[in-house]
Structure 1
Amino acid sequence: MRKACVIGWPVAHSRSPLIHNFWIEKYGVADALYERLAVEPDKLADTIARLNELGYVGANVTVPHKEAAFALLTRHDALAKRLRAVNTIVTTDEGLEGRNTDGYGFIANLKSGAPGWNAAAAPVVMIGAGGAARAIAVSLEEEGAPELRIVNRTRARAEALVTEIGLADAHIYEWDELPRALDGAGLLVNTTTRGMKSENDLSLDLSPLAKQAVVTDIVYTPLETGLLRDAKAAGFTVVDGLGMLLHQAVPGFEAWFGTRPEVTDELRAHVLGDMGARE
């Protein structure tokens, strides 16, 4: 049996099995299974070293193990090297390889949810400078964004992001400079957890954005955050965060099981049903 898993601590909350097992059934992948594998930090090295021995052809890696997994692997794809973080492990002829598909998932979700969006058309504003922001920043740079405006409450953290991943056309704005950062921007992305569950929504004046701007949020619980609700009411195109979760899973599934899956409305409804939500 070809098995893959998601490694994390804790990991019970992960919806990756829901996604991959849906595809396994949909595409008729024989003798395949995707599982959760709860791994304490002090057992991560042994688990990764024995991944194939444990019966796995590969794995996803979630918090808090992404950076530690990078350090434990000797082979990486270009994005994982740049970010020094791994979310996907693949078995190759040369051994285990760490990859990072978060940026792919973000861009694929944007292109699906806002087909007319063009990264090169206008500056991009990114709120936040945490782990998710790193992959998103690199993916936007690679898509040709002419300028990345980073707004974060802690300037030092934003400066560290720019330096550590080597962003060329990035500018940092203080929180009270947000209106100036938004001026003429063609994309606004929230990479923070603001708006998730009981946390405070982001309440922003979006009027400085370009008329055809797109607003997206990596939060997907709730599916429509306060930021997206306000943006929709103001007439902007909005893209929710669930698609990023779904799209980032595509490259790993293809590498492990030999079939490139599609992110469909059926899959989205399947995951939303598990969340107790609907469109």
Structure 2
Amino acid sequence: MSDHPRIPLAGVIGSPVAHSRSPALHGHWLKTYGIRGHYVPMDVAAEDLEQVLRTLPKAGFVGCNVTIPHKEAALVLADVISDRAALIGAANTLIFRPDGKIHADNTDGYGFIANLRQNAPQWLPAAGPAALIGAGGAARAVLASLLEVGVPEIRIANRTRARADALRAEFGARIVVYDWAQAGNMMEDALTVVNTSSLGMVGQPELRVPLDALDFRAIVTDLVYTPLRTRLLDEAAAAGCTVVDGLGMLLHQAAPGFERWFGTRPEVNEATRAAVLAG
């Protein structure tokens, strides 16, 4: 047995993964807290995912993040699944346990709520309806977390209505589906407005939903963080709304995994933000 303890390793698995901000984020925390560890990006094809996940613990990995397109597959491959990962139907955080089992969690909803609470402390989720644009994997995490914190009604519009209808069938009567053509109407008196789609992201089409019905009391957030200020956030700010960019969700969703892997709960602050934007 070696006298030298293993250096804990973690990373992010996706395809592609070169664009990920997670290595800069975790690298900043490792340095800040003086932890001997490493966090690396890993571009893994779908057909290799299972073999890679079973092999990593043997190389000193204590866990990893999982991003597009592997979040659903990682859940299927896991031995132990958290309630919130099961509810969302996807995993973004894996913990490799000493007994060899893979534990799957999903911290996206936690990150979403923590970002709003930090950057819009006046937010009262139960005070009125929420309006969600998009019905993909990110929408599932946001939906589950908004229901959990007591939002009374959640309106959803998606370019393909069937996906929004499927969410209503699964998550229940507090979900109200709007046709894509009527997406602007669901903003009326909504006090939480969220873009969970990729519309407005660099390289994607603009989000063209009319915003003239936005309530000035609304907290408006965009999960897109490239660019940091999307058209949605610019127009919402001009209408008098409080706006919260999507970078904070990325930072907050990473904290629980870092704590599980490296034993320290990291703080999400301005230095964290600056490090990720610079990285």
Q: Are 1:17 and 2:23 matched, yes or no?
A: yes
1:201–1:225 contact (8 Å) kept in structure 2 = no
Bigger Cα displacement from structure 2, 191-200 vs 2-11: 191-200
Task: Give a deviation string over 1:69-118, Cα, whole Å, max 9, x none.
Answer: 11111201111111221110013355220000111111111111111001
Q: Within the alignment, does 1:78 sit opposite 2:118 as a pair?
A: no
Match of 2:73 among 68, 74, 95: 68
Matches of 1:7 and 1:211 in 2, distance apart?
40
Name 1:115's counterpart in structure 2: 121
Equivalent AA in structure 2 for residue 98 of structure 1: A
Secondary structure at 1:7 match in 2: strand
Distance 2:186 2:122 in 1: 22
* Structure 1 counterpart of 2:264: 259
Q: Who is 2:3 aligned against?
A: none
Name the counterpart of 2:4: none
Q: 1:98 aligns with which of 85, 97, 104?
A: 104
**What residue ranges of structure 1 are gaps of 5+ in the alignment?**
275-279
Sequence identity of aligned pairs in percent?
51
Aligned to 1:3: 9
1:146 aligns with 2:152: yes
Change (3 A) 1:34 1:179: closer
Structure 1 segment 26-65 matched on structure 2, within 5 A: 26-29=32-35, 31-65=36-70
Question: 1:232-267 CA distances to partner (integer Å, 9 max, x unpaired)?
Answer: 111110000111111110000000011000111011
Q: How many residues align?
A: 272
Do the aligned partners of residues 203 and 39 (structure 1) sit closer, same or farther apart at CA in structure 2, a change above 3 Å counting? Answer: closer
Q: Say yes or no: does 1:191 pair with 2:193.
A: no
C-alpha RMSD of the superposition: 1.4
TM-score normalized by the length of structure 2: 0.93
1:5-63: CA deviation from partner (whole Å, max 9, x where unpaired)? 1111221111111000100010111x211111221111111111222112200000011
CA distance in 1, matches of 2:214, 2:242: 12
**Structure 1 residue 248 corresponds to structure 2 residue 253:** yes
Counterparts of 1:76 and 1:168 in 2: how far apart (Å)?
Answer: 26
Structure-1 residue corresponding to 2:213: 208
Deviation at residue 168 of structure 1 after TM alignment: 3.9
Q: Which residue identity lines up with residue 147 of structure 1 in the other structure?
A: E
- Cα deviation for residue 198 of structure 1 reads 4.0
How far apart, CA to CA, are the structure 2 residues paired with 1:255 and 1:167?
33
Structure 2 distance, partners of 1:251, 1:167, is 28
How far 1:179 moved relative to its partner? 3.8
Q: Secondary structure of the equivalent of 2:80?
A: coil
Counterpart in the other structure of 1:277: none
Distance 2:49 2:264 in 1: 28
Post-superposition offset of 1:206: 3.3
Corresponding residue number in structure 2 for 1:137: 143
Distance 2:15 2:128 in 1: 39
What SS does the corresponding residue of 2:147 show, helix, strand or coil? Answer: helix
Structure 2 vs 1, CA of residues 203 and 235 (structure 1 numbering), >3 Å: closer, same or farther?
A: farther
Give 1:231's aligned amino acid.
A
Q: Is the 8 A contact 2:216 2:239 kept in 1?
A: no
Superposition TM-score, scaled by structure 1 size = 0.93
Structure 2 spans left out of the alignment, 5+ residues: 1-6
